[in-house]
A and B are shown apart, each in its own frame.
Chain A
Amino acid sequence: MTESADLLVVEELRYAYGDRVAVKSASLTCRRGEILGLLGPNGAGKTTLLSCIAGLLPSFGGKLTFDGQPFWPADDAPSRSRLGLVPQELALYGDMTGAENLQFFARMQGVESAQVAGAVQRGLELAGLVDRASDRVSAYSGGMKRRLNLAVGDLHSPELLLLDEPTTGVDPQSRNHLFECLHALRDRGRTIIYTSHYMEEVQRLCDRIVVVNEGVVIGIGTTAELAEQAGKPGANLEEAFLAMTGRSLRDEA
């Protein structure tokens, strides 16, 4: 079987929490080896979209294709092992040390016992926490927790890494460290979907950008392509984004 260039294809995805429609219609493709930015204001449906892809909200409408095959991670553990999720919240055990967190999640991700120690070490290096490995996570700073949060999601070297606003509450140094990490991961062959509402972040980091607004994908492409779609050729991402989404607050619907 030949490898397709598109790793993940999302077609007409739709999800509602009860009566509240969070994702109305989302279609996008994520190419193998790219960092795809998912840009949208608060409440746009970014987290919901990632949760559907990760199999956490299985009752969505539409279709997912992964590596050319229909994708249904909710019911299929091997499918899930091809994904890594870094949730928006710090999903860590505060009373366990950084190393213990990595070790536990490595086991849960099905990393072979013989390889667990190696995976933990790589995780600590990725998070820049080698010398704080045996401190409890509750004693880490916000930035350190964020970095560990990322490292846990990548423990099993998944093909596709889903990052949900990984830079929340992080200072410029830690953010730079994180970006370097992500570039390093991409260079190792990881495909990454990166969610954020910081434009300069997305512009700097991502190869292509998906703009989501009120549950609808309204644009996809590079910054230049998006500026053109918005009817403002040559504009930067912020101008293109505001032209596409309008200037009012969006999370009040």
Chain B
Amino acid sequence: MNTWSTALIIARKDLSLYRRDRTGLLLGLLLPVVLVAVFGSVMKFAFGGEGGMPRVTLWVADEDGSPESQKFVGALRNVSMISVRPRANQDPATAAALRGKVNDGEAHHALLVGEGFGEALSEAKEPPLVLVRDPGRLMEDRLIGIAMMQAMMSAGDGRSMSWMMGSMMRRNGMSEQGVKRLQASMEAVQSVIGMFAGGSDPELRSETAPAASADNFDMTAMFEGMVPVTKEDVAPPDRPKNLGFQLAQSVSGMCVMMLMFGLMACSSMLLVERDQGTLRRLLVSCAPRHALLLGKFLFCFVVGFLQLIVLFAFGELVFSIGAFRDPLTLLALATTWVAAATSFGILISVWAKSTKQAEGLATLLILVMAALGGCWFPVQMVELPWYGEVITRSTLTFWAMEGFQGMFWHQKPLTDPVMLRAMAVQWGFVVIASFAAVRLWRRRFLGT
């Protein structure tokens, strides 16, 4: 027999088998499409800022209320790389409320525009600006620095450039005389540029400024510390100094996701037992029938718990994430997440007609939930439209991440409302999923 024709026959047979394997088709074709769609839209919202930079939320309180301060805040709103909160149509926030938000970990940066801002600006003096921030959020910090400079320039009709420059040089040790000279020469240059660019036409200015900064991003980055602000750092005292936000995020994200995969493999043992016939034998034995399902749950729970502890121990050893700083909280969160992931796995297993189907659906759901719930990328920091918020919050992984990030990053205690809510949502799922699993178990396995 000819090698090629034989190979062709084998390939045709395999293709027809592949076509019949619905689950394989689903995984092979649908999964990539779904993941690209999900991840793409998350990224679109995440990096929808200027020059493809992530859009960062900045909370602002205007305590001055002068025309100048209003103009400055308005200019901040126009900088496309940040989203200013509260929105223009919402109630303004007070400085105290914003300090509270940063303290609670709800916000990472808040800019307080102090009383006397307008006055200081008109006298070309350093304005009272306080930036309350989580110092661990380095990327956001740099972007906000640049955004403030852009806003200051645009609000000050370009004139602020000279005093900002002067202020920066003064902070860096230049003598008062040097500063004066620098400012004089800059003003001269400014007026020449103004003549050519069409003077103070605001339309033109707001269009050219961002474009220029996008093209010369690196140059702009040098000026990220240009606007003089008083920095007020708010970080949990126990957080490891070397722990970055992204690191904490990805360690907990991977742990959350891998646990789901691990537990799926365990819970599909129920289907393996059905296929190999041992389940029939167990069902005929005098063991209480629901004990079989409960036994599977316990098995998955124990394995899952060990997996999670090993994962965190590894994270602690290699990345020093401070996993075991608060053992009680870790225990509560781990128990909660293992229970939730176990009920998820068991529910899929009692629903599925075959092991392949169970694993196919589970892979799809786990990857999509991981992407949406923030295991791969911090969706928590992304500005999403309302339906995006609804979708991310309807994933199980979101609440697991909320809990683990609450512990690792924000160093919240177990009794913090955010932590309690995250755990309550997961336990709610455990109850509902277990109830559904028992019903399906009765119908599919016991025939009642």
A residues at B contact (CB < 8 Å): 51, 54-59, 73-74, 77-78, 80-81, 83-85, 87, 89-94, 105, 108-110, 152-153, 156
- Complex contacts, B285 vs chain A, CB 8 Å: 80-81, 105, 108-110
Which residues of A sit under 8 angstroms from B286, Cβ to Cβ?
A: 77-78, 80-81, 108-110, 156
Query: Judging by beta carbons under 8 Å apart, are A91 and B276 in contact?
Result: yes
Is B67 located at the chain interface by the 8 A CB criterion?
A: no
Q: Is the CB of B282 within 8 A of A56?
A: no
B280 with A91: CB separation less than 8 A: yes
Q: B residues near A, CB below 8 A? A: 276-278, 280-288, 446-448
Neighbouring B residues of A56 by C-beta, 8 Å? 280, 283-284, 447
Bound CA–CA A83/B283 (angstroms) = 12
Q: Give Cα distance in the complex from A110 to B285, angstroms.
A: 8
In the complex, the answer to whether B446 meets A87 with C-beta atoms within 8 Å is no
Contact of B282 among A83, A89, A108 (CB under 8 A): A108
10 A-B pairs with CB atoms under 8 Å apart are A56-B280, A56-B283, A56-B284, A73-B284, A87-B277, A90-B277, A94-B276, A108-B282, A108-B286, A156-B286
User: Which residues of the other chain, A, contact B284 by a CB distance below 8 angstroms?
Assistant: 54-56, 73, 80, 83-85
* B277, B278, B448 — most chain A CB neighbours (10 Å): B278
Return the chain B residue nearest A93 by Cβ.
B278
CB distance from A105 to the nearest CB of B (A): 7
A74 B288 Cβ-Cβ under 8 A:
no
Closest A-chain residue to B275, C-beta based? Answer: A89
Q: Are A87 and B282 in contact (CB under 8 A)?
A: no
**For B447, what are the chain A residues with a Cβ–Cβ distance below 8 Å?**
56-59, 74
Chain B residue, CB-CB nearest to A59: B447
How far apart are A21's CB and chain B's nearest CB, in angstroms? 16
Choose among B280, B281, B282, B448 the residue that contacts A74 (Cβ–Cβ < 8 A): B448
Cross-chain contact B277 with A77 (CB below 8 angstroms)? no
Q: Is the CB of A87 within 8 A of B448?
A: no
A74 to B448, CA, bound (A): 9
Contacts of B280 in A (CB 8 A): 51, 56, 85, 87, 91
Contact of B281 among A73, A77, A87, A94 (CB under 8 A): A87
Partner of A92, one of B278, B287, B288: B278
| B281 → A minimal CB distance (Å) | 5
Q: Distance (Å) between the CB of B254 and the closest chain A CB? A: 29
Residues from chain B with a CB closer than 8 A to the CB of A152 are 281
State which of A58, A77, A94 has its C-beta within 8 Å of the C-beta of B287.
A77
Closest Cβ neighbor of B287 among chain A residues: A108
Chain A residues whose CB sits within 8 angstroms of the CB of B287 once the complex forms = 77, 108-110
Contacts of A94 in B (CB 8 A): 276
Best-buried of B276, B281, B288, B447 by chain A (most CB within 10 Å) = B281
Q: A152 — nearest CB in chain B belongs to which residue? A: B281
In-complex Cβ contact of B277 among A83, A89, A108, A156 (8 A): A89
Closest residue of B by beta carbon distance from A92: B278
A108 vs chain B, min Cβ distance (A): 4
What is the CB-to-nearest-CB distance from B184 to chain A, in angstroms, rounded to a whole number?
A: 85
Chain B residues, Cβ within 8 Å of A55: 283-284
Q: Give the docked Cα–Cα distance between A81 and B447 (Å).
A: 19
Point out the residues of chain B lying under 8 angstroms from A108, CB to CB.
282, 285-287
Q: A203 vs B448: C-alpha distance in the bound complex, in angstroms? A: 37
Bound CA–CA A78/B288 (angstroms): 10
The 8 Å CB contact of A85, one of B281, B446, B448, is B281
Given the complex of chains A and B, what is the CA–CA distance between A109 and B287 in angstroms?
6
Measured CA separation A152–B277 after assembly (Å): 13
Residues on the B chain within 8 Å of A84, using CB: 284
Q: Which residues of B contact A105 (CB under 8 A)?
A: 281, 285
Find the residue from A56, A87, A93, A94 having the highest chain B CB count within 10 A: A56
- Chain A nearest CB from B402 CB (Å) reads 39
B372 to A: closest C-beta gap in Å: 37
Q: Which residues of A contact B282 (CB under 8 A)?
A: 108
Q: A105 CA to B278 CA in the complex, in Å?
A: 10
Residues of B contacting A91 with CB < 8 Å?
Answer: 276-278, 280-281
